[in-house]
Structure 1
Amino acid sequence: MKSPHSEFLGWDHYAREYARRLEAANAVGHPEWVELPASRREAKGAGMYFTGKPCKNGHISPRYSMGCCRACQMGQ
């Protein structure tokens, strides 16, 4: 049986991910987005999360729990 817990990747991994998300948020002028959860799982279906990665249409924007990004939802 597979463990329900994910493997710990080390503190350096999490620091690099945070720095990458912060850089992406600053690049689009919204450093506050880094305070959002980093994944859909962390958001637990209660709002938005910010991965810092572009969506399939190239937007770097927070995503809703349903998966689409805010820019796509707004029709940009």
Structure 2
Amino acid sequence: MTRVPSITVDVGEPLKERMEQYGDVEWDEVSRRAIRERLETLELVEEATADTDISDADAAELADRIDEIAQRRIREASD
């Protein structure tokens, strides 16, 4: 049997208590999805800025802004 790589995420007691209120949520899947989406954003920014002189820090800031805008649009679409 192949062992699946795993990571440990420290969330702190207040967040853990909030998560426990929703015991039916598969938090490991939520985490995988968030990591996958962040990687996709970083890869898109990396691809888009490959031929530019933009710094890694500026590229990371751009990725953060893209994530914020996407999250806002998702929230607005669900309202």
TM-score by length of 2: 0.32
- Relative to its length, the structure with more strand (as a share) is 1
Q: Which has the higher contact order (CA 8 A, sep 6+)?
A: 2
TM-score by length of 1: 0.33
Rg larger in structure:
2
- Relative to its length, the structure with more helix (as a share) is 2
